[in-house]
Structure 1
Amino acid sequence: MTELAGYLRSDGRKGIRNTVAVAYLVECAHHVAREIALPWRENDVHVIGFPGCYPNAYAEKMMERLCTHPNVGAVLMVSLGCESFNKYALERVVAASGRPVKTIIIQGTGGTRASIKEGRAWVETQRAVLDRQETVPMAVSELIIGTVCGGSDGTSGITGNPAAGRAFDQLITEGAACIFEETGELIGCEHIMAARAITPELGRILEQSVAKAARYYATLGYGSFAAGNAEGGLSTIEEKSMGAYAKSGASAISGLLKPGDIPPRGGLYLLDVVPDGEVRFGFPNINDNAEIAELIACGAHCVLFVTGRGSVVGSAISPVVKICANPETYRRMQDDMDVDAGRILEGRAGLDQIGTEIRDLVVSLGQGARTKSEELGHQEFILTYKSFEPLGPSCLPAG
C-alpha cells in the first residue's frame, strides 16, 4: 500500500502542504497582503483573496473552503475595514476548524506600514510553528485531485487529456476522489457522459448542467473557445469538448458538485462551474486560474493541468501538475512542464504509461516532491462574483 505523509487537521482531513494563507478581503487590502507574504515567497506563505467591495454568497463560501483547506495550516486575514465582506464570520469559521487565525484591519492598525509590520510578525510566528509540525501516514484514498485544461491545441485531446483520464482511473481504483469540470467545454458530449452516471437521475442532471452552460454562453454571445485554440488546430467547441471530456477517464460518475462542495467519498465527480439563474456577472470563468481555485475549494490537494499551447500558471494553496500534450511545446517550455505527454504522439510512450507517470507524480507530491510551478514560485489566484443554488439530493446519490 502506497503511503503518503500528511498534515492532520482537526476535522480528520490531511493536507500535503502546510501553508500559511494571507487572505485579503477587498482589493484595497491586496497590496498589504502581498507585502506581508513577500519575505516567505519560497516558504509556503500564499496570498489569496476576494477583490469585490460588495457581498456575494459564492465568494464567502469559496473563501471559507479555501481558508479551511487541508493544505492550509494558518490564516491571516487582511481587511481594509469598510468593505462588505463578513470578516467576522470567516474568522469564526477558520477558528472553529482549529487553525490559528488573525485579522488585521488596516484602517484600525494605522495604515500600510503598520499593517505590514504586524502581519509579518504574526506570519513569522505561525510559520515557525507549522515548520515543527510532524506528519502522519496518509493513504492515496484520502486524496482529492482536480483536472483542468488550458491553452489547448489539436494535440490536447489525443495525448494529454486522455492520459490525465487514465491517471484518474488508476487513482479512483485506489479510492481517491477525482473532479473534472468545464461544463461549457463538454457541449456535444453530454449524452455519453450521462450514460456513465451511477443513477439515471444523476445522468439527467449532468445533461442539464451542460445545457445550462450552452444557454449561458449563447446569451453572452461567445463560447469557451479562445483564438489560441483555433491557432492550435481546433475547429469547433464540439471538437474541443471531445478533448476536454477525455480528461474524465472511463470510471462511473458518482456525482455533480458546485464550487466549494467537497466530495463525500472516493469516485469521479463533475464540477459545474457555470452560475445558476440569469446571466449576471459575465463569463463563468475569465481565465484558467478561476477554475483551479474552484477545484481547490472542493478540497483538491493538487490539480492536473493539461496544455498543448503552453500555459505556465500554478496556484496558491494546492500544487498544479503541468501535463504538456504537444511534444514541440514541451521541448520549448520544459522548465515549466512536469509531464511530456507528447511522447504519445511521437510513438515514444503509450497512454497507460503516461497515465501511470501522472499517477505516480501525484503520489510523490504527498511524499515531499514539488511541481515545476511550485519551484518557479507560481501562486496565481483569482476570485470573482458568481451565484449558485444549493445541490439537490440527486446530485450526490449514495455510492
Structure 2
Amino acid sequence: MLSGYPRGDGRKGIRNVVAVAYLVECARHVAREIVAQFKPLFGDADFDVANAHHAAPEVHLIGFPGCYPNRYAEKMMERIATHPNVGAVLFVSLGCESMDKHYLADVVRASGRPVDVLTIQERGGTCSTIQQGVEWIHHVRELLREQPTVPMRLDELITGAICGGSNGTSRIAANRAVDRALVMLIAEGAACVFDRTAACEYEIKSCEARPELADAIIHCLAKATRYSRTVGRGGFAVGNAGGGLMMQEKKSLDACANSDALPDVGIVKPGDILLTGGLYLLECGAGRRATFGLPKISDNAEIRELIACGCHGILSTTGRAPVVGSAISPVITVCAHPTMFRNLCGDMDVDAGHVLEGCSTLDQIGRGLFSLTVAVANGTRSKSEMLEHREFITSCNSFEPIGPACLPASAHDEMLHKKSLGLMAA
C-alpha cells in the first residue's frame, strides 16, 4: 500500500510539487529566479525517506516559451498544472502573451489547488515580481506541508515507459526488463503507457487481437512515418548509429520490446488521461500533416507528454545513458550497457547490463525494477531527482482526437464519464 496526496478529481499524487509556470519566454527569467530562492529538498543531508510526505514541498520550473496561440501547448500546460503530483501552481505572465492565464488559473482553482498569477507588467517589474512570488510560495509550502496523505493502491498508479538513446543492448536487456516490471504492475491493476517509434506497424498489428485497434495502431504509426519523412528526420538519431543500430527498423524493434509480453489495450494522445488499468500506446506523431513551426520532439518532450497523460513516474530505458530527468514526475533510468552504467553509475538507477554479463536474469532485473518503481512511488528519490534534474520542454504541436476504436471496449462508458469531468479530450 502506498501513501498519496488526494486531489479534487479523485486521483492521488506521489509528490506534492509547487509548480512555477512561465507563460512566455519573456517571463522565464523571473520564474526561474523565484524557483532558485528555494533550497532543493535533495540538498538536505538529513532528508528522511520515511518522512518524505511531511517535508517541505519541492518547487519546480515549467513553462511555454511561445508568444503565439497553440491549443496543444495550452492543453499541455492545463494537464500538467492539474497533474496528480502537483499541489499548487504559480503562473508567471509578462502580460501580453497569447497563453490564457485566467483560463488556466480557473482550471487549477476548480481542481481545489492553491493558484496565483503574477503579471510582471502589473507587479512592478522583475525584482518586485520575484519578491511577491517567493512570498506566495513560502505561504503555500506551509499549507501543503500540513496536507494529510491517504492510502493509495497500486491500481491507482500510472507509469510511463520510454525507450530513448537506444543502442544494440536496449532490446536485449533494458526494454525486456521493463516488460517484466510492466507485467507485474498491470497484474496489480495499474495503468502503463509507452511511446513507440514507427517502422514496425505490421509486427505490432500481429500482436493485437482486436482488428479495429490494430488498424488504429497502423494508422497512427503511419502518420508518424509520413511526418518524419516530410520534416527530414525521424526518431533515428546520430547517437543510435553510434551505439550500433544501423536503421530505423532496428531501433523500432528495440522499442517494441517494451510491450512484447503484453497486449495493447488502447491508444492515447498527449494529454488524454488513462481510463482503466492495462497497457496504452501514446501516439507521439503529429496530426494530419507536417506544419512549419511544429518540430520533431525530443525524448524530454515525449516524457513531458507521458506526464501530461497523468503518469506518476517514468521508466526510461537507454543504451546511451542520457543524464536527464524531469520536472513534476520522477524518472527512473534503466541502462543496458554495462560499461556505460559504470561510467555514469551516479546518474543511472538500474544496471540491466548484468543480464549481458551473466550476473542476473531478466526476471531478477524486472522484479528489482518493479520494487524500485513502488519505492519511488512511496517517497524514495530516483537518481535524477537526487541530482535535481528537472528538464522540461513544451513546443507547439497538433493532434487529431482519438476515436472509440482506440479504447478497450470496457472503457467506453468510462470515457463518457471522464469527458464529463474534463479529464479527457472531447
TM > 0.5 between the two?
A: yes
1:173 and 2:187 matched = yes
Separation in 1, partners of 2:338, 2:294:
31
Contact 2:163-2:195 within 8 A present in 1 as well: no
Deviation of the 1:284 alpha carbon: 5.1
CA-to-partner distance for each residue in 1:144-185, whole Å, 9 max, x for gaps?
100112221111111111111111111111111100113xx2
Which amino acid counterpart does residue 210 of structure 2 have in structure 1?
A: T
Separation in 1, partners of 2:364, 2:185:
14
Separation in 2, partners of 1:39, 1:57:
32
Two-structure CA RMSD over aligned residues (Å): 1.2
Counterpart in 2 of 1:328? 339
Counterpart in 2 of 1:135? 149
SS at match of 1:336: coil
Superposition map of 1:52-201 within 5 A: 52-182=66-196, 185-187=197-199, 189-197=200-208, 199-201=210-212
Give the alignment partner of residue 311 of structure 1, picking from 322, 329, 340.
322
CA-to-partner distance for each residue in 1:3-24, whole Å, 9 max, x for gaps?
0110111111000000000011
Separation in 1, partners of 2:71, 2:149:
34
* 4+ long deviations beyond 3 Å: 195-198, 281-286
1:330–1:59 CA distance, 2 compared to 1 (3 A)? same
How many pairs align? 394
Contact 1:147-1:303 within 8 A present in 2 as well: yes
Counterpart in 2 of 1:33? 31
Which amino acid counterpart does residue 382 of structure 1 have in structure 2?
A: I
Contact 1:255-1:395 within 8 A present in 2 as well: yes
Deviation of the 1:41 alpha carbon: 4.8
Deviation of the 1:200 alpha carbon: 1.2
Separation in 1, partners of 2:130, 2:280:
41
Which amino acid counterpart does residue 238 of structure 1 have in structure 2?
A: E
Separation in 2, partners of 1:335, 1:56:
38
SS at match of 1:99: coil
Counterpart in 1 of 2:385? 374
Deviation of the 1:220 alpha carbon: 1.6
Which amino acid counterpart does residue 349 of structure 1 have in structure 2?
A: S
Counterpart in 2 of 1:212? 223
Contact 1:312-1:336 within 8 A present in 2 as well: yes
Separation in 1, partners of 2:121, 2:205:
52
Q: Which moved more, 1:156-165 or 1:370-379?
A: 156-165
SS at match of 2:392: coil
Which amino acid counterpart does residue 3 of structure 2 have in structure 1?
A: A
- Stretches of structure 1 that go unaligned for 5 or more consecutive residues are none
CA-to-partner distance for each residue in 1:277-297, whole Å, 9 max, x for gaps?
221145654321100000000
Contact 2:86-2:328 within 8 A present in 1 as well: yes
CA-to-partner distance for each residue in 1:175-223, whole Å, 9 max, x for gaps?
11100113xx231x22232233352111100011111111111112222
1:50 and 2:64 matched = yes
Deviation of the 1:396 alpha carbon: 1.2
Separation in 1, partners of 2:337, 2:157:
28
- Stretches of structure 2 that go unaligned for 5 or more consecutive residues are 42-57, 411-426
Contact 1:25-1:83 within 8 A present in 2 as well: yes
Q: TM-score, normalised by structure 1?
A: 0.96
Which amino acid counterpart does residue 211 of structure 2 have in structure 1?
A: P
Q: State the identity %.
A: 56
Separation in 2, partners of 1:23, 1:234:
38
Separation in 2, partners of 1:287, 1:165:
23
1:13 and 2:11 matched = yes
Counterpart in 2 of 1:296? 307
